[in-house]
Chain A
């Protein structure tokens, strides 16, 4: 997995490349923690994300909870497999997916 972050004033875009699973999710969690202060709009760009397992869902959930308090969060460019996972787990209702 590779994480590409781009900060533009209060907007943070996090691009996640590869696989977001048990072994890589802690790295994303750490990376989000480092950068989330003062962010009012957080965008996860999943264009190059192959898949996500429950470990990755947990990071999205905890990040959504933080952003509920300090601004907004959305997930963009989600592939078919990941979208189905969001739907099955009810994450499509919790997250803003575009």
Chain B
């Protein structure tokens, strides 16, 4: 298990990505899964940076764990900001035309579609969001 605690800012997204990628590379994670995980980090960490402590800035912890059978990586994002369950968002209507589309709401939907599992809980004053992706 590896853990990084860092200020939740948009500028720090590349640092979080680099931290997770380092572990994925050690695990010989396939390129496609790694790219999908990097995208998920962009979506989830940017949400924390924008909304968790707004207008203040606060910390977030990112934790990487490995599970066997099937070989999977579990990444947990923890912040103690405003309680927010992104899984409660209504999925966007992906059949609408460009003119009818609203700008936004796609990020979490994309994560749901590309990860094998996503779970949220609010516990001890913390938002805890876990994603899981098989990398075998």
A interface residue numbers (CB < 8 A to B): 19, 21-23, 50-55, 57-58, 61-62, 64-65, 68, 80-81, 84-85, 88-90, 93-94
Contacts and interface: CB of A to CB of B under 8 A. Distances in A.
A27 to B, nearest CB: 13
Contacts, number: 69
Interface in B58-91: none
A89 B13 CA distance: 23
Nearest to B12: A23
Contacts of A21: 13, 39, 42
B10 A22 contact: yes
B42 A89 contact: no
Interface residues of B, number: 28
Secondary structure of the B contact surface, majority rule: helix
Given A52-B39, A55-B107, A65-B99, 12 more contacts: A19-B38, A21-B42, A23-B11, A53-B39, A53-B42, A58-B103, A62-B103, A64-B98, A88-B94, A89-B94, A90-B95, A94-B98
B110 A80 contact: no
Interface string B101-117: 10110110110011000
